[in-house]
Chain A
Amino acid sequence: MLGYLIRRILAAIPVMGVVALFVFLLLRLTPGDPAAIIAGDNATPEQLDRIRTQLGLNEPLYTQFFSWVWRLLHGDFGTSLISNVPVLQMVNQRIEPSLSIALCVMLVSILVAIPLGVIAAWKHGTWIDRFVMALSVLGFSVPVFVIGYVLVQVFAIELRWFPVQGFRSISRGFGPFVERITLPTIALSFVYVALIARMTRAAMLGVLGEDYVRTARAKGINEGGVLFRHALRNAAVPVITVIGTGFALLISGVVVTESVFNLPGIGRLTVDAVLARDFPVIQAMILLTSGVYVGVNLLIDLAYALLDPRIRY
Chain B
Amino acid sequence: MSELVNPTVNTRPIALEIENLVVGVGKTGAGKKIIDGISLQVREGETLCVVGESGSGKSVTSLSTMGLLPRDSLKAIGGSIKLVGEDVLQATDRRLRELRATTMAMIFQEPMTALNPVVTVGKQIDEVLRTHTNLGAGARRAKILDMMEQVHLPDVKRIFASYPHRLSGGQRQRIMIAMALVLEPKLLIADEPTTALDVTTQAQILKLIRELQKDHGTAVLFITHDMGVVADIADRVAVMRHGRLVETGALKDVLSAPTQDYTRNLLSSVPSLIPRAAREEVGFNPVVLEANELGKVYRERSMFGKPREVHAAQDVTLTLRKGRTLGIVGESGSGKSTVARCIVRLIDPTSGGIRLAGREISDLSRHALQPHRKKIQIVFQDPYRSLNPRITIGESICEGPINFGTKHSVAMARARELLELVGLPPDAVSRYPHQFSGGQRQRIAIARALALDPEVLVADEAVSALDVSVQAQVLRLLDDIQTRLGIAILFITHDLRVAAQICDDVAVMQHGRVVEQGPAAEVLANPQQPYTRQLLDAAPGRGWDFSNFRAVDGSAAVPAAV
Contacts and interface: CB of A to CB of B under 8 A. Distances in A.
Interface in A263-313: 307-310
A230 B116 contact: yes
A309 B101 contact: no
26 contacts: A210-B113, A211-B114, A212-B113, A212-B116, A214-B114, A215-B114, A215-B179, A217-B68, A217-B100, A218-B66, A218-B101, A220-B96, A220-B98, A220-B100, A220-B102, A220-B128, A220-B132, A222-B131, A233-B118, A233-B119, A234-B118, A307-B118, A309-B118, A309-B163, A310-B117, A310-B163
A214 B115 contact: no
For chain A, give the interface size range.
20 to 34
Interface string B70-102: 001000000000000000000000001111111
A308 B100 contact: no
A264 B168 CA distance: 58
A221 interface: yes
Nearest to A126: B72
Interface in B101-140: 101-102, 105-106, 108, 110, 113-119, 127-128, 131-132
A50 interface: no
A234 B116 contact: yes
Nearest to B98: A220
A234 B117 CA distance: 8
A265 to B, nearest CB: 37
A219 B114 contact: no
A211 B165 contact: no
A7 interface: yes
A215 B109 CA distance: 11
B72 A125 contact: yes
A214 B108 contact: yes
Interface string A214-241: 1111111110010001100110000000
Contacts of B303: 7
Interface in A1-24: 7
Contacts of B113: 210-212
B116 A219 contact: no
A214 to B, nearest CB: 6
Interface of A is mostly: helix
Contacts of B105: 218
B176 interface: yes
A309 B116 CA distance: 11
A246 B270 CA distance: 58
A249 B165 CA distance: 35
Nearest to B115: A212
Contacts of A217: 68, 100
Contact of A308 (B98, B108, B117, B128): B117
Contacts of B127: 216, 219, 221, 225, 229
A218 B117 contact: no
A215 B176 contact: yes
B101 A308 contact: no
A286 to B, nearest CB: 30
Q: Could you say which of B66, B96, B97 has the most chain A C-beta atoms within 10 Å of its C-beta?
A: B97
Contacts of B97: 220-222
Contact of B101 (A210, A220, A233, A234): A220
Nearest to A7: B303
B68 A218 contact: yes
B478 to A, nearest CB: 33
A170 B101 CA distance: 52
A216 B108 contact: no
Nearest to A124: B72
B99 A220 contact: yes
A211 B101 contact: no
Given A211-B110, A211-B113, A221-B127, 15 more contacts: A125-B72, A211-B108, A212-B114, A212-B117, A215-B179, A218-B68, A218-B100, A218-B101, A219-B128, A220-B128, A220-B131, A225-B127, A234-B117, A309-B118, A309-B163
A74 B510 CA distance: 62
Instruction: List 6 A-B pairs, minimum CB-CB distance, nearest first.
Output: A220-B100, A211-B113, A212-B116, A220-B97, A309-B163, A211-B114
Given A220-B99, A307-B118, A308-B118, A214 B131 contact: no
Contacts of A212: 113-117
